[in-house]
Amino acid sequence: MRKMLRNSDPFGELMPRHIYNVVLICSEYDQFLIEADGRVEEELFREYTQLGLTNPPKISFARTREDLFYLLKTTEADLVITMMELGETNVIELAQSIKMQYPTLPVVALSPSPTHHVSIALKKRNIAAIDYLYYWQGNSNIFLAMIKLIEDKMNALHDAQTEAEVPVIILVENSVRFYSTYLPLLYKAIIQQTRMSMSEDLTPWGAALRMRGRPKIVLAQNYEEAIALYDAFNKNVLGIITDVNFDKEGKSDSEAGLKLCQFIRSKEPDLPLLLQSTNADYKDDADSVSASFIWKLSSSLLNDLKLYLFENYGFGPFIFRHHESGNEIARAETLRELQHTLETIPIESFVNHASRNDFSRWLKARSLYVLANLFRPYR
């Protein structure tokens, strides 16, 4: 029986549920592509090794319905991933059959295109048997993102309610294409930042615990899901990244993202909000609710998103700014440098950063949750 190491440190209680065994059902051709270059297995092994975990997910392949249910019966599967093209096998009926026998087993579908006919049917019919739909173009990073998102969904509420109070990033996006792009980047940025903080005089045990306490990501695909996630995690939200156009009250709303930002801003004046749209005209609307804006059609989209994360979520150095001009006056790469720099900056700058929860946010992004929670009340 799987057990997680525990001790008196709050990190020892984090992420009690993990994905260990993945069953991938696909055609012989897809299996050949995946196994021939080893990209998926290699990427998962590399990432889990960097995380300090000793059990990277194992992928078992099935080509037929019979193969799949044999594996589910004989192995302790934690996740089923299905390609869209399965010959005569209907993906939707297959997922429903899986859920009938294994109701808590996550099922993810991979589509070769957001416009694939089965993908469109899935989105229109809102098939409950399929937990997530992703856009697959041979990028192995999507496998890591799929697994991490499901683990975060299973563990986020538990981890947020522990003594460590692990923070959560809410992504609101109903475009399969865009969240398939954003999620690998978000996880890569979080993992990179957490690994940077592990160099600060941590023992191997402390580093492993800190990795388990990284910020979690949860995905909402409509207004009601976004509000429900905010209500569930409102004390632990690190930031919200939202599209502009998505469903609200069951209907497409071209300004649902703006309405969400307005609601959040009425509750939290300093929470980082990022509005995204294919329409550049929404930049002024984003400014009106004190939200940042990224144009989805920009040629530098991924770099823009990465820069935003580092500047607003504390994923880079802590930058001390002048309280009036906003110009940089100092920066700290590590906790030790932050400690020494605090003695040299003007008190007005210190008060400005404290009033905006900048110190708490930076510490939380580096998995220093207990210390961050001590800072947060002192604004």
- Residue pLDDT, tens place only, 75-100: 889 999 998 777 777 888 899 999 99
Using CA atoms, how far apart are residues 358 and 270, in angstroms rounded to an integer? Answer: 9
| Residue type at position 162 | T
| pLDDT mean over 229-247 | 92
In the prediction, which pLDDT does 291 show?
95
Higher pLDDT, 13 or 251: 251
**Is the pLDDT score of 122 beyond 70?**
no
Indicate if the alpha-carbon torsion angle 195, 198, 199, 200 is positive or negative. positive
| pLDDT level of residue 54 (50, 70, 90 thresholds) | low
Chain centre to alpha carbon of residue 74 = 31
Q: What is the mean pLDDT of the chain?
A: 82
| pLDDT level of residue 53 (50, 70, 90 thresholds) | low
In the prediction, which pLDDT does 118 show?
57
Report whether 68 contacts 80 (CB < 8 A): yes
C-alpha distances out from residue 294 to 26, 256, 299, 304, Å: 36, 16, 11, 7
Q: 250-269 as b/e, with b when 16 or more CB fall inside 10 Å?
A: eeebeebbbebbeebbeeee
Report whether 341 contacts 332 (CB < 8 A): yes
**Is the pLDDT score of 71 beyond 90?**
yes
In the prediction, which pLDDT does 8 show?
38
Record the tokens describing residue 345, joined without a space.
Answer: 């900056």
359, with CB counted inside 10 A (0-12, 13-18, 19+), is buried
Higher pLDDT, 178 or 1: 178
In the prediction, which pLDDT does 207 show?
61
What residues have CB less than 8 Å from 147, skipping those under 6 apart? 19, 22, 44, 57, 79
Alpha-carbon Rg for the chain, nearest whole angstrom, is 22
Q: What is the DSSP letter of 15?
A: -
| pLDDT mean over 305-312 | 83
113, with CB counted inside 10 A (0-12, 13-18, 19+), is middle
Of 276-280, 326-330, 362-366, which gets the smallest average pLDDT?
Answer: 362-366
**Is the pLDDT score of 178 beyond 90?**
no
Record the tokens describing residue 117, joined without a space.
Answer: 């006919």
What percent of the chain is modeled with pLDDT above 90? 35
In the prediction, which pLDDT does 194 show?
66
| Residue type at position 227 | I
